[in-house]
Structure 1
Amino acid sequence: MSLPNETLVAVLDGLPASVLADVARVSRRLNAVAERLLYSAISITDLLSGSSPVPARTLQCCRSILSRPHLVDTIKRLHIRWHGDFRSLSPHALAAACTNVGIALQTLVALEGLDIFLGPANLANVPHNPVHAIERILGSCALPSLRFCSLGAEWSKDVRPYTDILPAFLSTACRLTHLKLSDHHQPILALSHGALPALFYFRGSPYTAASLLPGRPVQYLALIGQDSDVSPENLRQIALTSAPLRSLDLSAMQVRPILLRHISIHLAAPLEILKVRLALRHTLHYALSGIALLAGLSSVLANFPHLLCFDLSPTEIDGGRQANLTEEASLCADWSRACPSLTRIVFPSGNQWRLAGDGSWVLSSSSF
């Protein structure tokens, strides 16, 4: 075969993994090219149960990585997902599996994207082992090329908390721009002052955000958990970013109007995008009264001097109720008078309205 490797990569790139695996068995040369494509982005999912108590696919992947040291500079993305019921699992087997994943991860010095969700692994109590399941993986790892990182496991109030292993690991990721921590709910993430100098996006609990954001250039923030956790004290800390916070995503929590008012006091000035899942069951009866009652948000929106987009699409409504375009158009006019910077509004119906050049609001897309 006279084709250069670059051409073969272009031909094979984009093929399904099952096809690439077949190609790799054709010849040594095709194996070398296909193998690099197969291992450039690895995605593994394991379903744990009493009959399958260990993440077999993950462990097989780790063995494959360790047996192919020539590929360590090829592997750029690693995605691991575990799911299952912790009550039927072996805590010691899961702890050993985490250790094995960590051994393989240590070799991936060129890794740019890491996404690990360990499902029930941290719920299974390992006696005399206070280390979080994620930290059993990260303990001896340093990934200086990492840009995107998502870590977590299923969470409850009585599970093992994170220790200083997590901040020690994050401190090695000097190029990290995107960070998601789905189960870190502790009041402090003890990072050194100069850690994560390039962090641009964060998704996690209000407590973690309040500890992490001060002094860092985070411009996009997504909060998880309960809206009662977003206290004025947390918001004051979140506001101390070194770059203006442009976007706030509250679609993962039920938001009451009092939280929007707190945000308007502490974070309003820099925000350009606000995405909210309103707790209508606490404040409005959408199906009975219509969205005209949302006009009450005008007084809050008046405190957002730079807001460009107000997105209410995550808000849950009665699925049988059709959108009232007249009411939506009226709200667009009311809100834009209160907040003249607005140019786009997305309603719970999914309808998107945009400000036209003549100052009128037009329906630009619809969910119906």
Structure 2
Amino acid sequence: MDPFRAFHTKIQVLANLNENIVNSHFPEELDHCVVRRKKPKTSAKADNSWSISSDSNDNAVPGPATISRGPPRLRPPLPQEVTELILRDLSKVELLPVLRSNKALYSVAVRVLYRELAESSPSRLISLLRALLPQTHVHPHVRKLDLNIASLECPTANLYRTLHALLRRTTGLASLSLDLPKAHSPVWIFEGCSFKLRQFSTSMHCSPALARFLDTQDRIVQLTLRGFQNDTMRSLPYLYMDITHTLTGIPGSGAIEILKKQEAGLEPFVLSPGALPRLAVFNAIHAGPAVVGEVVKGRPVTTVSIPLFSTNARRSLDALEGSAVPLKRLSIISFDPDAPNYIFEQVATRFPELEALHIVVLLAEFTNELLLAACQHLRHFKRLKYITCVATSSEESSVAEEQEIAEKWHEECPTLRTIILPRGRVWFQKPARISSDRNWECLED
């Protein structure tokens, strides 16, 4: 027997006992869960044998007024908002007994159970969709959907139709993440949907159809585009050789040439001027300068993550200057082998108001000489607090050498608080109250 049922049974047993005994289990000032019963009338003889004399009754001090008591309450005494915060700490498995306890807890637990739904297994996703569709009473409670079926080679049209039906019913959806197979971009699943997203992440291609959908989402604050864009294919064709083979079925460079011919006749990704008025965070995983510029231009974007390719790296950085407000956080993943020679200079001259800068270089190395040469560019930053510079490196660097780099960087940029250098060491400034020969300490120390 669960604790709640045992407690409820105990209360029912106590209710059948003498009222004074029951009330002794509760504070006098609280609303009791027992209904007072009228005492049966007794005969005069019985009254004479058990009652107190009239004189003593006249001198008795009157007691407190009787508190009216209602029926037993099944609803928790806590506000629903507090109960919901408590239930959020439970797993979905632990929430199941709460759902079966009573109606009051069910109304709160059902909101917590269906608020965030995430699934990465295709088979379990199908079961989830089939189970959710008939339950119309839970559709308004769904706030976040995170679905990943990228591992599925060829999803059926029926799967997309089922997903479309669910998206049309979840009118309160605020966060949506869809990771689909590389060659699939079924934007039609958004037709007829009335939700207003705040966060949206998708692997769909940046097509005119996707742009039209984004035009209807005026509440999006965070946007992530993970799809492969047309200009990206031209920027870095050899890294995506397997992708082009998937899209066309033709191996080698012949697939790339066919893609270029197809792209020449495609319509560009264009947003309306009034689209995404609240956009603040933009993450582009494979997009080139055309898509980056179209999304950022004229919008209050303060946090950006973009890739840089060898043929258009500077144009991608130029595209970020179209933001309506200064950038505060910038993350760069560079596929350009020449990036260490220009990355600090190009970023510092364009975005002096940055507070955090994260640079990941995949096809090149950062030598100690290049890191020291970056000092002259770091002085352009006015508010930079956090900087990360990660790259593959064939040469080892001692702690003393990295400490020298960190201290010189701080001399040129006094606002720096945390530095991560290519070897992965984290450097931070020691508090002034601690006396030491070294101003900067490594996390490994």
Q: TM-score, normalised by structure 2?
A: 0.64
Matched, 1:366 2:410: no
Residues 198 and 220, structure 2, Cα contact 8 Å, conserved in 1: yes
Computing the radius of gyration from Cα coordinates, the structure with the larger value is 2
Residues 172 and 195, structure 2, Cα contact 8 Å, conserved in 1: yes
- CA–CA distance in structure 1, aligned partners of residues 99 and 75 of structure 2: 17
Residues 235 and 266, structure 1, Cα contact 8 Å, conserved in 2: no
2:271 corresponding residue in structure 1: 191
- CA–CA distance in structure 2, aligned partners of residues 111 and 365 of structure 1: 44
Matched, 1:20 2:95: yes
Matched, 1:123 2:183: yes
Give the CA RMSD over aligned residues.
3.2
2:323 corresponding residue in structure 1: 241
Residues 292 and 331, structure 1, Cα contact 8 Å, conserved in 2: no
2:128 corresponding residue in structure 1: 61
1:10 Cα deviation after fit = 4.3
Among 384, 387, 391, the alignment partner of 1:310 is 387
SS in 1 for 2:147: strand
Normalized per residue, the structure richer in strand is 1
Residues 142 and 169, structure 1, Cα contact 8 Å, conserved in 2: no
- Structure 1 stretches lacking a partner, 5+ long: 47-54, 125-131, 154-160
Deviation per CA, 1:64-100, whole angstroms, max 9, x where unpaired?
33222222332111111124262xx4x5x1x331222
SS in 1 for 2:126: helix
Residues 406 and 440, structure 2, Cα contact 8 Å, conserved in 1: no
Matched, 1:332 2:383: no
Among 96, 102, 105, the alignment partner of 2:167 is 105
1:195 Cα deviation after fit = 0.8
Higher deviation after alignment, 243-252 or 227-236: 227-236
Structure 2 counterparts to residues 262-273 of structure 1, below 5 A:
263-264=346-347, 267-273=350-356
Paired letter, 1:263: Q
Among 333, 351, 355, the alignment partner of 2:426 is 351
Paired letter, 1:269: P
SS in 1 for 2:425: coil
1:179 Cα deviation after fit = 0.7
Paired letter, 2:183: L
SS in 2 for 1:35: helix
- Structure 2 stretches lacking a partner, 5+ long: 1-73, 232-267
- CA–CA distance in structure 2, aligned partners of residues 340 and 28 of structure 1: 59
Matched, 1:137 2:210: no
- CA–CA distance in structure 2, aligned partners of residues 22 and 253 of structure 1: 51
> After the TM superposition, which parts of structure 1 deviate over 6 Å for at least 4 consecutive aligned residues?
none
Among 221, 224, 235, the alignment partner of 1:180 is 224
- CA–CA distance in structure 2, aligned partners of residues 201 and 11 of structure 1: 31
- CA–CA distance in structure 2, aligned partners of residues 62 and 253 of structure 1: 39
CA shift in 2, pair 1:217/1:81, >3 Å: same
Deviation per CA, 1:180-199, whole angstroms, max 9, x where unpaired?
11115245531110111111
1:295 Cα deviation after fit = 1.2
Residues 223 and 250, structure 1, Cα contact 8 Å, conserved in 2: yes
Deviation per CA, 1:323-365, whole angstroms, max 9, x where unpaired?
633112211232234444434322232312237559x974456
Deviation per CA, 1:47-77, whole angstroms, max 9, x where unpaired?
xxxxxxxx33223322333222222332111
- CA–CA distance in structure 2, aligned partners of residues 362 and 253 of structure 1: 34
Aligned length: 327
1:112 Cα deviation after fit = 1.4
1:72 corresponding residue in structure 2: 139
Residues 138 and 165, structure 1, Cα contact 8 Å, conserved in 2: no
SS in 2 for 1:69: coil
Q: Percent identity?
A: 22
Matched, 1:41 2:85: no
Paired letter, 2:303: Y
Q: Which has the higher contact order (CA 8 A, sep 6+)?
A: 1
Structure 2 counterparts to residues 224-263 of structure 1, below 5 A:
224=307, 226-228=308-310, 230-251=312-333, 256-261=339-344, 263=346
